[in-house]
Amino acid sequence: MNNSVARLKDHMKKIEQYQTIENLLYWDLATMTPEKGVDSKAEAIGFFSTEAFRLSTSEEYGSLLKELSAPENYNTLEPAIKVTVRRELRDYERFCRVPEDFYTEYVTLKARSQRAWETAKKASDFSVYAPYLDKIIQMTKQYVRYMEPDQKPYEVLLDMFEEGMDSQTIDRVFEELKEGLRPLLKKIREAEQPDLSALKGTYPISGQKKLQDMLLSYMGFDFTKGTTAESEHPFTSEIGSGDIRITNHFREEDPLAAIFSAIHEGGHAIFDQNIDPSYAHTSVMQVNIMGLHESQSRFYENILGRNPGFWSPIYTKLGKLLPHFQEVPFDTFLKAINHVEPSMIRIDADEVTYCLHIILRYEIERAIFNDEVTTEELPALWNDKMEELLGIRPATDAEGVLQDTHWSDGSFGYFPSYLLGSVYDGMFLEAMEKELGSIEEIMSKGEIMKITKWLNTNIHQNGSLYTSREVIQRLCGKEISARPLLDYFNKKYSEIYSF
């Protein structure tokens, strides 16, 4: 049996070599590649990902996985290997059920559709993109039906991005949130709104970059295991073990966007940097459970990063690196980073209204997969739901249905994981404060690393050994619920907006 486990790890290591190169190429494409080098990089990515795909679907690998999954063998395996065999065999069997010519057509369509989406978004014209989106929807339904013929397509998609999750749980949790957020948002909107004009000014990018490095070190990002660069959209990437990189996008007039992107991506990176290295060459090393991953980036960004305790020990440093902050009273800064206001664009939304942006997308995806809405009806449905949930109506498709890239490449079922991340955060916060006491007090004393260590021990080191539901059961001893997140919102915003 030991020999078979060694062969499994060997095979996974081989696949990882290709993935390392693939990720490095993606990283380069997003940060460094000159315009005329794009095509050759894209071609190389195609080459390496095909090789990796061949290895994951080779017959030899399939028989090894089947051998290891036979009960008499499987029961003797250690937990990380069990998880690996289960996931690898599931993916192997799924891929084997998809006809090759269908797969090629689907991948090609996704690339074309993404380009059509970019064009449509620039022109704010849904009609350019509609035929592609329609085809993507049909083909995604078919793709998932090939993979799991006996399951409902949307359930399979949810599970692909958030292992162990189902629409029944999401319906329950999101309904709970919707009910709880309506009165909260009403109170916030009726309260006196803060004057944030002191923040208007210029914040040199060189200073913003130094601030980013300072913040990352402060949170616990390990620069011996990672680095930073600039790209159009911030992201985190693992370039093989011991090398977790993040990117950011800087604008002189808006330091807050870059600050919170740095904290968010830093949270993703700290997770990956702290997975127990003994899980090397098992699937535990890769956390493709997006809700769990997002819970960590959003914990740093929102729960910690928007807390006064995070900033009080370092606020004078902000003024040293970016002198305009010397003219911004600390209290105004806190009000600015916690300002709640309904707006059109998800990625610019505050932590409260953000929830509603995701609920909107989830409800639309559910309607798409229940065949309750046609593609042409999507822009109007989007706008109606914006009005219902946030009380505002997009004037153009660019600030409505065209704003996100996810659907253009078939990533239906991804959106809920962002909000599930925040829901988990409410629960993690409760468990953490029970054990460590108030996070505001800890951070005010300059001891944020105590919090990072708690997350390292209780969540990060386990990688994807446990699903989110299991992590929550182990840490909080209860079922997933939106109540703790709502309690956190209500307590926090009643203080900020004095109601």
C-alpha pair distances (Å), 161 with each of 292, 350, 416, 420: 10, 24, 9, 11
Q: Which is nearer to Zn ion, 311 or 354 (CB)?
A: 354
Considering 22, 88, 148, 265, which one is annotated as catalytic? 265
Piece of 210-218, 289-297, 304-312, 336-344 that binds Zn ion (CB under 5 A): 289-297
Piece of 21-29, 249-257, 295-303, 326-334 that binds Zn ion (CB under 5 A): 295-303
Q: Is 103 exposed, middle or buried (0-12, 13-18, 19+ CB in 10 A)?
A: middle
Piece of 97-105, 293-301, 439-447, 470-478 that binds Zn ion (CB under 5 A): 293-301
Q: Which pairs from 277-280 meet CB under 8 Å and 24+ separation?
A: 277/241, 279/80, 279/463, 279/465, 280/9, 280/241
Q: Which is nearer to Zn ion, 264 or 385 (CB)?
A: 264
* Binding of residue 237 to Zn ion (CB under 5 A): no
Q: Which is nearer to Zn ion, 250 or 414 (CB)?
A: 414
In whole angstroms, how close is the CB of 229 to Zn ion at the nearest point?
17
Q: Which is nearer to Zn ion, 143 or 161 (CB)?
A: 161
- By beta carbon distance, the residue nearest Zn ion is 297
Contacts with Zn ion by CB under 5 A: the residue count is 1
Q: Which is nearer to Zn ion, 95 or 235 (CB)?
A: 235
Q: Which is nearer to Zn ion, 297 or 338 (CB)?
A: 297
In whole angstroms, how close is the CB of 323 to Zn ion at the nearest point?
31
* Binding of residue 297 to Zn ion (CB under 5 A): yes
The tokens of 249 are what? 């996008």
* Binding of residue 422 to Zn ion (CB under 5 A): no
Piece of 99-107, 137-145, 189-197, 292-300 that binds Zn ion (CB under 5 A): 292-300
In whole angstroms, how close is the CB of 450 to Zn ion at the nearest point?
24
Q: Residue 388: what residue type? A: E
In whole angstroms, how close is the CB of 294 to Zn ion at the nearest point?
5
In whole angstroms, how close is the CB of 259 to Zn ion at the nearest point?
15
In whole angstroms, how close is the CB of 298 to Zn ion at the nearest point?
7
User: Does residue 265 carry a catalytic annotation?
Assistant: yes
Active-site annotation, residues: 265
Binding site for Zn ion (CB under 5 A): 297
